Structure 1
Amino acid sequence: MKGCITDAFRGLLCYRKSSVPEDATIPPTHTKIKIYSYKELSFATDNFNTVNLVGQGGFGCVYKGRLKDETLIAVKVLSIDSSQGLTEFFNEIEAVSSLSHDNLVRLYGCCVEKKHRILVYDYAENNSIAHTLFSKTSKPSIELSWEKRAQICMGIAQGLAFLHEEAIPRIVHRDIKPGNILLSRDFVPKISDFGLAKLLSPEMTHISTRIAGTLGYLAPEYARGAQLTRKADIYSFGILLLEIVNGRRNVDTKLPKKDRYLLEKTWFLVEHNQLTNWVNSIGIEIDTKTACNFIKIGLMCTQDTARLRPSMSKVVEMMKSEMEIDIQNLARPMIVSDFMDLCGGGTQYTTTVTNTDHLSTYSLLSTQSTLAKCQFEI
């Protein structure tokens, strides 16, 4: 049923979800970001024609557009109720638009005309990694060589390191996954979708918040205790790194259970000294040593204990190094496949965290007394 929604219905759904009170909104006069009129963006997208619908997620629908000066743009119609004040909205948008890095999608400006909340981004001509590597068609539209994959992995690491350690204020993305990594014409990776991002002031180490993310990329401690730190992004990056190197999703329910979960499969190969042979069988001409190092870095990033995961700047350093990565002291993560089977691998969800005195089959980790109930978004 889910896969049968027509493009027209999806477009209508995106439009309706974006409804907010009809009162006119006037942007603050001091704002530094470019303000687009709704008429201008409607013209650019051919009245938000579903033919131009290039993506959608929990926070909005994205349309390809072309301005009068021929500039290609990505127009994101936010699915919000606008409970957030206008000043707060502009403050957050200004914080994001002020960031400049080769591996971040550039935010051009926004539209806040009447009921509309729309963001305007640079357009990535090669879509997302999810589209490129995991196309639903029998064969992806673009074949990514090992050289391109390695460059993409490095670019994502550098972009995330910038968000965590250099951006002011510091930013935790909260939903690093293939669909949120866009590719430019030259296959430069661009981290996108800051709809889930929370801003960290320098004096803060974590933010307690409602859990939001994508199952399979969600760090175990984040799902368990709703404590948001940069280490949660690092876990997600580790999973993404394994996916890009291997060219497969981290959860593939069509495979036998022993091969279904990429993280568990990778640990099995490491423990049985089969990693090198497996890398050589991926199906593309590959730099075996570098690919094995990237996989080992992915395992370091996905340690159960958050403090044992390296910082993103350390990850970049290791990825640039030609030294072989040593993972002898790494501990294999707890098996989460039963939880993944229960919740439906790869499903986007939010969770409500409550305290309980007893263990539950819904617990993410059976040794914890915290209950994480899955609430699926259809």
Structure 2
Amino acid sequence: MIISWITTRWPFRRTPQTANGREVQIFEIFDFERIVAATDDFSDINIIGRGRGAVYKGILENGEEIAVKRAPRNAHTGNEQLQNELNLLARLKHKNLVKLTGFCIQQQEIILCFQFMHNHSLDQLLFENYDGTRILEEEIELNWGQRSRLIQGISSGLLYLHEDNGDTIIHRDVKPANILLDRNMVPKISDFGISRPFEEDRSFFTTDNSRGTIRYMAPELQSGMLSPKADVYSFGIVILEIISGIRNTSCPLGLVSLVLQYLNEGRILELKDARLEEPCSNGEIKRSIYIALHCLLEDPNSRPDMRQINLWLTSESTHPLPLPVRASHWGSIGIDATTVVNSATLLEI
């Protein structure tokens, strides 16, 4: 039973506890009736997100707003993913990870309760619907300073997952829809349903379950090879989307092809979102594109790890390594593999 699995695996109490020498987060155990009241019986009107189930906005009796995540009814896989998410978030705490405040167990079902994010998800701010209409009714503009802080914050959260939490955790689905924004526009990585620990003494492990979102997945995942470098690849796509305001899925050949094309045509700054007003640091934008191209190299062993990326993003005196000069290093991206990529211009002031 789920209750037995949880209570024996992690001690969710209202007083501080430790597990294996590590402090475990303190969560509130919600009564199901309280969650029903907060979400108006899981009303469709309160749905604020969908994916592996639905996320509802809830308002507790004291006025506190929460986000309630529930798997589809009778969905065994969805419930397993919520178990996995609960298990991981019990031992993770970082300013750039979504905060789990509590959970509810109703018979064989787990319902998770999170801190409510007032500025929605990053994809809702960056993109329009496919028909050209706005996703959000209110218009929230992101200047370059905010976008740069978003990139750094996501990088910091991934570094914590990969290296600084005592384990190595691979998120496996890094994308703007899974980046939530609080009142102060601080990014929070969310949705750990398919995340998993990684054994530190291995370079890769093989998985026959290539879960994730196709246009953000690293190419080696097609062969079932999983490592933290898969998250690095996804992060590279996210950087380009933050800079351009363009969905990777909106480009027939992908954003990487567009970047290399613009780069070789000497018009790389045309990639930046038209909504970005001057003054805008073109040097910082080009440097961020350069870092993204490092993340997106086809060979995972050639990609930097998140500590190196974080250092590049936060230290102007630390220069990224030279990039390869052939387009073939970015895989099958729809352009001539022998094309020479003049990436050095990205680091010119």
1:64 pairs with one of 41, 44, 57: 57
Contact 2:259–2:271 (CA<8 Å) still a contact in 1? no
1:298 pairs with one of 286, 292, 295: 292
Q: 1:329 corresponds to which letter in structure 2?
A: P
Shift of 1:201: 4.2
Q: How does 1:85-96 map to 2 (within 5 A)?
A: 93-96=86-89
Contact 2:256–2:333 (CA<8 Å) still a contact in 1? no
Counterparts of 1:278 and 1:198, CA distance in 2: 34
**Distance change >3 Å, CA 205–CA 74, structure 1 → 2:** farther
Q: Does 1:106 align with 2:85?
A: no
**Distance change >3 Å, CA 31–CA 97, structure 1 → 2:** same
Shift of 1:280: 8.9
Shift of 1:247: 1.2
Counterparts of 1:54 and 1:291, CA distance in 2: 32
Contact 1:175–1:233 (CA<8 Å) still a contact in 2? yes
Q: Secondary structure at the match of 1:251?
A: helix
Counterparts of 1:248 and 1:280, CA distance in 2: 8
Partner of 1:48: 42
Counterparts of 1:182 and 1:215, CA distance in 2: 20
**Distance change >3 Å, CA 231–CA 52, structure 1 → 2:** same
Counterparts of 1:247 and 1:162, CA distance in 2: 26
Contact 1:297–1:315 (CA<8 Å) still a contact in 2? yes
Contact 1:25–1:113 (CA<8 Å) still a contact in 2? no
Contact 1:53–1:63 (CA<8 Å) still a contact in 2? yes
Partner of 1:217: 216
Q: How does 1:141-156 map to 2 (within 5 A)?
A: 141-156=139-154
Q: 1:334 corresponds to which letter in structure 2?
A: G
**Distance change >3 Å, CA 309–CA 192, structure 1 → 2:** same
Partner of 1:229: 227
Q: How many residues align?
A: 309
Contact 1:279–1:292 (CA<8 Å) still a contact in 2? no
Q: How does 1:281-320 map to 2 (within 5 A)?
A: 283-285=276-278, 286-320=280-314
CA distances 1:201-239 after superposition (whole Å, capped 9, x unpaired): 44454343200111211100112x111100000000001
Instruction: Give 5+ residue unaligned stretches, structure 1.
Output: 1-22, 339-378
Q: How does 1:102-181 map to 2 (within 5 A)?
A: 102-136=95-129, 138-139=133-134, 141-181=139-179
- Tell me how large the CA RMSD over aligned residues is: 2.8
Q: Secondary structure at the match of 2:212?
A: strand
Contact 2:216–2:237 (CA<8 Å) still a contact in 1? yes
Instruction: Give 5+ residue unaligned stretches, structure 2.
Output: 13-26, 336-349
Shift of 1:38: 1.3
**Distance change >3 Å, CA 305–CA 90, structure 1 → 2:** closer
**Distance change >3 Å, CA 290–CA 115, structure 1 → 2:** same
Q: Secondary structure at the match of 2:102?
A: strand
Contact 2:47–2:57 (CA<8 Å) still a contact in 1? yes
